[in-house]
């Protein structure tokens, strides 16, 4: 790339492309290329001026070398499908032509023709107001129409024209602010790249979903998300379609059944022929999700929105009284120029969208303002243990055989069963067998996965089980070989135990170590500092293991050997006690509790069904995001409170100034729209900088 340096200071350089013209696509490519250069902190590229401002912390030479290597045609750069540049250009053009058209009209057209145009332009506002009144509602559209009609009846067509011009500007600013917030959020979310297992020549290859084409064959197993529309080629599965159809009960899918992107396999396994490839549809689905999320308004948002509509009749009455008492139409118009609705209905959702966007910057995916409010107000936070408080990288430390059996053979059998239903514990068993070079060819019949319990199968005539203590001893009635009780009691309490039974008798116990995350104790302390009165751990693990982990982390309360329904029941009990609850989990067995909580938080590396039913998703490698979420949600609630007070205060002041005759109608309209734009733009600012 050939360019010239226009200006330079420490850590900042402005360059200009020497070419005559730069397209928006080229500007995006240059911007995302430079953002990927090591040491570059921020980049802004203007396609109209062909300038790029680069802020960097690394060596100056690396930035210049990167510019020298860049070529618009040959350099490969991953650019998001939607970058927001086209939206910004559309808004700039609309604003320019709107202002230019008004200026030209005032300069070139005679007064009578301008008045006729004003009269014609008022008709849509009047029609909209009449429709609103016919529906029994008095909203801001009625206020707008009354102000326009009153001005024209008073013979002040210039004021009526100015009112419509300011309304148009206000609508344009509101539309742009809202679309910009949605677009920014969608851009960040669309950068997530999902992968899927594609069947190729008898083998399965993990492939980015955007590389899968119609006709390809993919495999989805229990707990997996179906990423693309398709038809079941073989297999049988129970599919949760709640995200698509709202059905709460899973739907059985067999050969020939249609399946849809975004649904989750609860049980079973299916091989799917893809009918709809990934692409622009993904972005559109994200946009729809965000739009749907706006329906999940917090109670604070809803109250502000309802208040905005309730205040419209008071504005009308105030204007009527001003006219009746003073006989001054200008004072009445000054009141009519101001309404609370625009700013309230713009600032509140934009604040939420901004918070959701900022959450995505911190790798937190949030489905709506309702859940941010819950995250700010919750008193109880509930954790699953494995994969949430622990590293989700367990390893088998020892295989303890019973009844004179061989430890390696028991590990081989356990791996043979577990490989069919991969989760963190199963992967640890399979990896332990691989490290010992133990081949585990299929020697059993079809396996059956019992959620939150274990796996059942058969080898020859003998029933084989592997799973939790509850599943093995209580549900299945397995016995311990004679003389094995002391050995069973001596197992290390700080480790998890996986029990293997053959023919109704305990055959081996696999001791599994899953290290507690280094930051977990600090996170629990931080949650207490941020206002959580109860930090609780619910786990299906043994009581001994759970007690050791809870004591180490400073957890207030724990429940061990719980089933999925027990976790959900605990959250219901908290609700009955009047407490809002957050649930954090990652497994299939956490899904009921995640749904029951006021805000369910899933770990991104966990089961797809957990992510699907959760309201918020965080990455698996850093629990600090929970603290960030709490601060972010609390800052959002403070911002909404400030917005409410600012809007009510400023607009009330404008009404009083208009009533006192200190501001004409056009001035109150201008200041009202300016304050609306200010609060809208302020609502787009980062929240955490305000909170810290």
Q: Would you say 256 and 231 are in contact if contact means Cβ atoms under 8 Å apart?
A: yes
Q: Cα 649 to the chain's mean position, in Å?
A: 33
Q: Would you say 498 and 512 are in contact if contact means Cβ atoms under 8 Å apart?
A: yes
Overall residue count recorded for the chain in this entry: 692
Q: Is 210 helix (H, G, I), strand (E, B) or coil?
A: helix
d(CA 676, CA 176): 13
Distance spanning both ends of the chain, measured CA to CA: 41
d(CA 91, CA 88): 5
Which alpha helices (H) appear in 578-623, and where do they start and end? 591-596, 608-613
Cα–Cα separations (whole angstroms), residue 561 to 60, 140, 467, 540, 593: 58, 57, 12, 4, 15
Q: Is 602 helix (H, G, I), strand (E, B) or coil?
A: strand
Beta strands (DSSP E) in 474-632 are: 496-502, 505-513, 534-538, 557-559, 581-585, 599-603, 616-618
What contacts 199, CB < 8 A, 6 or more positions away?
217, 218, 219, 271
Sheet of 496-502, strand order: 395-401, 505-513, 496-502, 462-467, 454-459, 448-450
Q: Could you tell me which of 488, 511, 486 has the C-alpha nearest to residue 498? A: 511
Q: Could you tell me which of 376, 422, 383, 405 has the C-alpha nearest to residue 605? A: 422
* Beta-carbon count within 10 A of 279 CB: 10
Judging by beta carbons within 10 Å of its beta carbon (0-12, 13-18, 19+), is residue 407 exposed, middle or buried?
middle
d(CA 233, CA 636): 47
What contacts 663, CB < 8 A, 6 or more positions away?
334, 654, 657, 671
- Active site (catalytic) residues: 384
Strands 534-538 and 51-56: unpaired
Structure tokens at 121: 């332009």
- Kindly state the DSSP code that residue 517 receives in the 8-state scheme: P
d(CA 64, CA 1): 10
Beta strands (DSSP E) in 100-253 are: 195-200, 203-208, 217-221, 230-240, 251-253
Cα–Cα separations (whole angstroms), residue 610 to 39, 329, 428, 459, 616: 37, 61, 21, 32, 10
């Amino acid at each position: 790339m050939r360019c010239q340096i226009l200006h330079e200071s420490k850590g900042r350089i402005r360059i200009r492309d020497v070419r005559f013209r730069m397209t928006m696509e080229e500007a995006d490519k240059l911007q995302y290329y430079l953002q990927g250069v090591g040491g570059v902190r921020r980049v802004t590229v203007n396609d109209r001026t062909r300038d790029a401002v680069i802020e960097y912390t690394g060596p100056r030479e690396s930035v210049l070398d990167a510019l020298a290597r860049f070529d618009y045609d040959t350099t490969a750069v991953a650019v998001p499908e939607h970058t927001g540049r086209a939206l910004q250009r559309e808004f700039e053009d609309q604003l320019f032509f709107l202002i230019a058209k008004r200026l030209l009209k005032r300069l070139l057209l005679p007064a009578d023709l301008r008045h006729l145009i004003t009269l014609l332009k008022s008709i849509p506002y009047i029609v909209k107001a009449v429709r609103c009144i016919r529906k029994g509602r008095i909203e801001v559209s009625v206020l707008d129409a009354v102000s326009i009609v009153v001005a024209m009846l008073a013979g002040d067509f210039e004021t009526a024209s100015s009112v419509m011009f300011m309304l148009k500007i206000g609508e344009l600013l509101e539309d742009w602010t809202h679309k910009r917030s949605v677009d920014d959020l969608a851009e960040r979310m669309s950068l997530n790249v999902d992968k899927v297992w594609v069947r190729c020549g008898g083998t399965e290859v993990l492939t980015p979903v955007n590389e899968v084409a119609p006709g390809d064959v993919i495999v989805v197993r229990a707990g997996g998300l179906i990423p693309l529309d398709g038809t079941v080629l073989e297999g049988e599965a129970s599919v949760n379609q709640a995200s698509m159809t709202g059905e709460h009960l899973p739907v059985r899918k067999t050969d020939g059944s249609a399946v849809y992107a975004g649904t989750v396999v609860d049980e079973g396994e299916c091989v799917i022929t893809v009918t709809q490839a990934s692409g622009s549809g993904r972005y559109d689905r994200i946009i729809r999700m965000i739009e749907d999320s706006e329906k999940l308004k917090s109670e604070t948002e809803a109250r502000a929105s309802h208040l905005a509509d309730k205040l419209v009749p008071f504005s009308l009455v105030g204007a009527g009284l001003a006219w009746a008492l003073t006989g001054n139409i200008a004072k009445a118009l000054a009141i009519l120029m101001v309404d609370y609705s625009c700013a309230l209905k713009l600032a509140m959702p934009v604040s939420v969208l901004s918070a959701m966007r900022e959450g995505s910057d911190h790798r937190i995916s949030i489905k709506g303002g309702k859940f941010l409010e819950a995250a700010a107000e919750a008193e109880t936070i509930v954790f699953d243990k494995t994969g949430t408080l622990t590293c989700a990288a367990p390893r088998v430390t020892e295989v303890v055989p019973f009844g004179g059996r061989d430890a390696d053979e028991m590990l081989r059998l356990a791996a043979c069963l577990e490989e069919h239903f991969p989760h963190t514990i199963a992967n640890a068993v399979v990896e332990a067998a691989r490290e010992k070079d133990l081949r585990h060819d299929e020697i059993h019949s079809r396996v059956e996965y019992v959620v939150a319990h274990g796996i059942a199968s058969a080898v020859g005539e003998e029933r084989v089980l592997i799973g939790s203590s509850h599943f093995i001893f209580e549900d299945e009635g397995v016995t311990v070989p004679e003389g094995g009780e002391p050995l069973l009691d001596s197992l290390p309490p700080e480790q998890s135990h996986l029990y293997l039974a053959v023919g109704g008798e305990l055959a081996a116990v696999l001791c599994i170590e899953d290290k507690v995350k280094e930051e977990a104790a600090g996170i629990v302390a931080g949650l207490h500092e941020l206002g959580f009165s109860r930090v609780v751990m619910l786990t299906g693990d043994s009581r001994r293991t759970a007690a050791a982990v809870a004591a180490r982390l400073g957890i207030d309360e724990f429940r061990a050997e719980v089933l999925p329904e027990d976790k959900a029941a605990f959250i219901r009990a908290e609700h009955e006690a009047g407490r809002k609850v957050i649930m954090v989990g990652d497994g299939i067995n956490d899904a009921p509790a995640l749904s029951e909580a006021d805000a369910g938080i899933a770990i991104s590396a966990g089961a797809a069904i957990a992510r699907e039913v959760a309201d918020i998703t965080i990455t698996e490698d850093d629990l600090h995001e929970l603290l960030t979420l709490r601060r972010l949600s609390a800052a959002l609630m403070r911002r909404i409170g400030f917005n409410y007070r600012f809007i009510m205060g400023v607009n009330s002041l404008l009404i009083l100034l208009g009533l006192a005759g200190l501001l004409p109608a056009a001035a109150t309209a201008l200041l009202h729209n300016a304050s609306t734009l200010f609060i809208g733009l302020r609502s787009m600012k980062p929240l955490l900088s305000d909170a810290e």
